[in-house]
Chains A and B, each alone.
Chain A
């Protein structure tokens, strides 16, 4: 039996890179889809609004694990074989899109109504209003909850190990299967997740404080 030593610890540490890569991809693709859904949710067309809120409601009401199972095992049963990394990034992007859509819709809605009216009185089109008046303010408002959500995303990437993708969590499990020193291994794995997430949580809280201070003026 192997013991848990430096090579194993380094292997785990290196796999954290995949966790970060997965987080970045899911956040990037998820924010594009999520942004589209946030705008749809605020559209004047009722069917578009309904479609968007339906999507958000469904994705927020099912476990990410099920999305992952469906895109990996489910699709392969239908003859579409996604490699683990693709299935993992696709499912996480879907998950991200639903939550970011809600966060960003809330941020857009919390821009005071008068800003819309003011912009309309300047004969701006809807697109111009979004671009020059609403979004610059909404982005600021959305920053703290978006960074906070990033923490949830980093943690949730840990489930992709079920489809065999070697991220930080999977690396920990592989080492555990070889050494059976679970306590040390998962302490290290947990510590690495913590090292990624804690600064983000702090940043989110800090941004929130800054925003509150600037708004009370």
Chain B
């Protein structure tokens, strides 16, 4: 039963991270390409999500949306809340990465007869992501830990499972110790995995990022 909880926590986190990252990239693109109006809307969204608790967002989706006719079950609501929340933080982080790319580098790319798509991929996105990967990674880990809150809308991920076992057995201390250790193991393995993934995804640029960081250029 605990293993089911672990599994659900992992699945929820991964799906929310994947969807959130896609949404965040889209929002960043929208913000810089689609004019001032879209920019304001994206900014408002980011500020709104970053300055209210995840729990309020989750309850708004789970208890609030049915009032306007959209009924989601606990799992769907959790997934939506996690995705929207992560997207806001990731948008902010990715924007910092994109802002750190100098305009002259894009011009240099175009001067080298790269297509727009090639410039976007090799000159803008890859270095930007490589530079902010550590920040993104910590955000992902925080999201995984925050998923424990989804037990409040009766999703039986790891912390939800813990609550049920605790009610059945009354051995709260042992239950919570085991579950806490499981979270610890998950968070640490997740961190190691993300570090490894970062090195895999950005081999050529990560060295460069380290170099500029050593000179104190990157923020």
Contacts and interface: CB of A to CB of B under 8 A. Distances in A.
Interface of A: 57-58, 60-67, 69-70, 73-78, 151, 154-156, 158-159, 162, 169, 172-173, 176, 181-183, 186-187, 189-190, 193-194, 197-198, 201
Interface of B: 47-48, 50-57, 59-60, 63-68, 141, 145-146, 148-149, 151-152, 159, 162, 166, 170-173, 176-177, 179-180, 183-184, 187-188, 191
Given A65-B151, A155-B54, 17 more contacts: A58-B184, A61-B145, A63-B149, A66-B179, A69-B162, A69-B172, A73-B166, A169-B55, A169-B56, A176-B59, A181-B67, A182-B60, A183-B67, A186-B63, A193-B52, A194-B48, A198-B51
Residue from A77, A156, A176 having most chain B Cβ neighbours under 10 A: A77
A88 to B, nearest CB: 14
Contact of A162 (B152, B184, B191): B152
Given A69-B162, A77-B171, A78-B173, A190 B180 contact: no
B53 A62 contact: no
Given A66-B180, A197-B51, A73 B56 contact: no
A159 B149 contact: yes
Given A66-B183, A186-B59, A74 B172 contact: yes
A183 B162 CA distance: 29
B55 A158 contact: yes
A155 B52 CA distance: 6
A144 to B, nearest CB: 12
A48 to B, nearest CB: 22
A186 B60 contact: yes
Contacts of A169: 53, 55-56
Contacts of B141: 61
Contact of A189 (B56, B162, B177, B183): B56
B56 A63 contact: no
Given A151-B51, A169-B56, A66 B159 contact: yes
